[in-house]
Amino acid sequence: MCGLVAVFGGDPPAQLAQLTQRARVERGLDALRHRGPDGSGTWASTGPVQCTLGHVRLATLALQDGAQPITNEDGTIAVTCSGELYDLEATRRDLEARGHRFRTGSDCELIVHLYEEHGARGAVEQLRGEFAFVLFDERTQTLVAARDGFGVRPLLLAERPHPGGPEWLLASEAKALFAMGVEPRWNEA
């Protein structure tokens, strides 16, 4: 099943703000532990825009090396994903023929390399399966969030006003957003 959380934007980066963002991601992951009892991980950006990704894992593929978030070869692109991607072997062979090196047996690593090869829209168009993911590109300071066309895997989004600009929180379940500080209330508009 797995679960993911992400926090993007907000105040300009500072050590204290980065720690606060990571602490909120950890609270979100705690709310999702039932989705991924086999492990968890976080990743934080180092560039001017803050982004922290988190993942709880239910190990069904790549039992030994499929921990997330997963990065590309130089660590400039990171992804956290919930779900299952189809055509894993064929897509992997194609990407390897184009020079991409895989470090895990995880199907979710495909997303990073498809993004490098085809960009955000092209990567999503290439994916087959039931999935939700959040990807951050350090080079362009770009956040990409997507889910399968049928919406099988949930991906919830909340925007919070912040003095340094809007902050975006994403999660597999609403209770993770609440744990990260989103106030539960109706938006009547």
φ, ψ (nearest 5 deg) of residue 61:
-125, 155
Q: What is the pLDDT of residue 171?
A: 96
Asked if residue 34 has pLDDT above 50, the reply is yes
Q: What is the pLDDT of residue 63?
A: 47
**Sign of the CA dihedral with 180 first, then 39, 133, and 100 last:** positive
CA-angle at 109, arms to 105 and 110, nearest 5°: 105
Mean of all residue pLDDT scores within the chain: 86
Residue type, 87: D
pLDDT digits 0-9 by tens, 51-64: 999 998 766 654 45
**What number of residues does the chain have?**
189
Residue type, 96: E
pLDDT digits 0-9 by tens, 5-30: 999 987 655 555 555 888 889 999 99
Catalytic residues: 2
pLDDT digits 0-9 by tens, 97-152: 998 888 887 888 999 999 999 999 999 999 999 999 999 999 999 999 999 988 88
Asked if residue 41 has pLDDT above 80, the reply is yes
Q: What is the pLDDT of residue 1?
A: 66
Burial class (CB in 10 A: 0-12, 13-18, 19+), 161: exposed
List of residues 6+ apart from 124 with CB closer than 8 A: 146
